[in-house]
Amino acid sequence: MNSNADLLARRRAAIPRGVSVATPVFADRAENAEIWDVEGKRYIDFAGGIGVLNTGHRHPKIMKAVEAQLARFTHTAFQVMAYEPYVELAERLNALAPFKPPAKTIFFTTGAEATENAVKIARAATGRSAVIAFTGGFHGRTLLTMAMTGKVLPYKKLFAPLPPEIYHVPFPIAHYGTSVEDSLKAINFLFKADVEPGRVAAIIIEPVQGEGGFHAAPKELMQALRRICDENGILLIVDEVQSGFARTGKLFAVEHMGVEPDLVTMAKSLAGGFPLSGVTGRADVMDAAEPGGLGGTYAGSPVACAAALAVLDVIEEEKLLERSLAMGEWMQKRLAEIAARNDTLPMAGIRGLGGMVAFDLVTSRGSRDPDGQATMLVTSRALDEGLLLLSCGIYGESIRILVPLTIDDALLHEGLGKLEKALTRSP
């Protein structure tokens, strides 16, 4: 049997440190919301492969659809010989788009590819170059998406020069002293100081920041962005790579906000564990790029498209939108109970949109001073307890919960019990 320690030593020797890992254990097998390491230890999975597994590990319906596709063909390159699963998935997503039809959809492989291509499409459609993004936002690790990502460490350090024409404005987080008004003022300053609105192709925003700390964009901000875009011919891109696919109780988080974007990027839970990403946008905008300007050898893999079709069925049949809302409410209630105990580490800012739930660790009760060290302690204790847990946030101060929405109540309860233990002060 392989041991975690042996594999860790081999990993360190063979793989660069630039790809970090949250845990020193190695996966052996997984089922729905449980995962076992190579030494047979079981973990409840509150990380969901960073939001990829809203439908759980190896959902039987998704596995069946994938197996059926594997038996037919695994790759042609869509540009060489197209196939129905891609077309059918595009049709279904077009019908579900969070804006007025007609829509069109194109597929890629990673979240970064989707966000990068959304910008290419916006540039082609507007004939403009500049992009406005937000501090704390995360859009990927390719050159363009890294430039749009609003966090220097660890994403940008050592990788300059960054592509030009990307501008950042502050994302509003009330307890860090930034309001919606501050964000809008910053856009106004930007238009005066750095770039005229007529040169801006797109504003890109995560409706709920993922890596940035599970902060939902206030409705007033989203509505003001829509207005600024409409007044200036700018396209609004919502990056739903992490917040999409039922996580927040809607297929797309922007549906909570009463705003229609022009382009939506998606990935992660779109294909239930298979690599697939996509951009759905207004048909006129999506058709702006020249034939051959968009795509990729593996983009829209038939196996991943078959999986994604099954994901859409599972979301509907298992009522995962409703489940996300109910789970979110329950998790927030349990977290509030844990926070109220006087023998737990100081917690603050319990929040969530549906099942996209997080809270912060702070230096003392009642304070909002972030405590990233405490967060690291909690995630490592949780691992010892048999719970996979991820942090996030500008200061690494937040614990985020991305548990599969298919988890049953008993296992969710057990997982929250492990989290409670990890949060309890040592005697």
Ligand X SMILES: Cc1ncc(COP(=O)(O)O)c(C=O)c1O
Considering the complex, what minimum distance in angstroms separates the CB of residue 56 from ligand X? 19
Amino acid making up residue 245: F
* By CB under 6 A, residue 242 contacts ligand X: yes
Residue indicated by tokens 């008004």: 181
Strand partners, 370: 362
Q: To 5 degrees, how large is the angle CA 146–CA 244–CA 306?
A: 100
> How is 48-88 classified by DSSP, letter by letter?
HHHHT-TT-BT-HHHHHHHHHHHTT-S---TTTS--HHHHH
Site for ligand X in 112-131 (CB under 6 A): 112, 115
CB of 39 to ligand X, least distance (A): 28
| Positions in 64-93 near ligand X (CB under 6 A) | none
Of residues 110, 183, 248, 379, which one binds ligand X by CB under 6 A?
A: 110
Q: Classify residue 127 as exposed, middle or buried by CB count within 10 Å of its CB (0-12, 13-18, 19+).
A: exposed
Q: Select the span of 21-29, 74-82, 98-106, 237-245 touching ligand X (CB under 6 A).
A: 237-245
Q: Shortest distance, CB of residue 374 to ligand X, whole angstroms?
A: 23
Q: Is 22 in the site for ligand X (CB under 6 A)?
A: no
Rounded to the nearest whole angstrom, what is the least distance from the CB of residue 146 to ligand X in the complex?
10
Kindly state whether residue 391 participates in binding ligand X, applying the rule CB under 6 A: no
Residue 140 within binding range of ligand X, rule CB under 6 A? yes
Between CA 272 and CA 278, with CA 274 as vertex, the angle to 5 degrees is 85
Q: Which residue has the tokens 């705003």?
A: 259
Q: Are 57 and 30 spatial neighbours (Cβ–Cβ below 8 Å)?
A: yes
Contact 217, 203 (CB under 8 A): no
Sequence letter at residue 103? A
Binding map of ligand X across residues 262-301, x = CB under 6 A, - = no contact: -----x----------------------------------
Half-sphere exposure of 140 (CA within 13 A, CB side): 24
Helix (H/G/I), strand (E/B), else coil: 8:
helix
Nearer to ligand X, 263 or 267 (CB): 267
Q: Is 111 among the residues that bind ligand X (CB under 6 A)?
A: yes
Measured CA to CA, the distance from residue 289 to residue 283 in angstroms comes to 11
* Least distance to ligand X, CB of residue 95, Å: 23
> Counting contacts by CB under 6 A, is residue 400 touching ligand X?
no
**CB 426 to ligand X: min, Å:** 32
Q: Which of residues 30-69 bind ligand X (CB under 6 A)?
A: 50
Stretch that binds ligand X, among 35-43, 183-191, 203-211, 364-372 (CB under 6 A): 203-211
- Candidates 37, 45, 239, 262: give the one binding ligand X (CB under 6 A): 239
Task: Note whether 206 binds ligand X by CB under 6 A.
Answer: yes
Smallest gap from Cβ 168 to ligand X, in A, equals 15
> Which one among 65, 106, 121, 241 touches ligand X, defined by CB under 6 A?
241
Residue with Cβ nearer ligand X (270 or 416):
270
Q: What is the C-alpha separation between 105 and 287, in angstroms, rounded?
A: 10
Instruction: Give least dist CB 119 to ligand X, A.
Output: 12
Could you tell me the CA-to-CA distances from 174 to 38, 64, 346, 350, 359 in Å, in that order? 43, 46, 19, 14, 15
Between CA 27 and CA 283 the distance in angstroms is 42
Residue type, 159: F
* Residue bearing tokens 């929405």: 405
Residue of 59, 123, 139, 282 interacting with ligand X (CB under 6 A): 139
Identified binder of ligand X from the candidate list 43, 99, 138, 171, rule CB under 6 A: 138
Q: In the beta sheet, which residues pair with residue 388?
A: 45
Give 280's strand partners: 105, 264
Tell me whether residue 210 or residue 346 sits nearer to ligand X (CB atom). 210
Per the CB < 8 A criterion, the answer to whether 106 and 278 are in contact is yes
Q: How many residues bind ligand X (CB under 6 A)?
A: 15
Shortest gap between Cβ of 41 and ligand X (angstroms)?
A: 26
What residues make contact with ligand X under the rule CB under 6 A?
A: 50, 110-112, 115, 138-140, 206, 210-211, 239, 241-242, 267
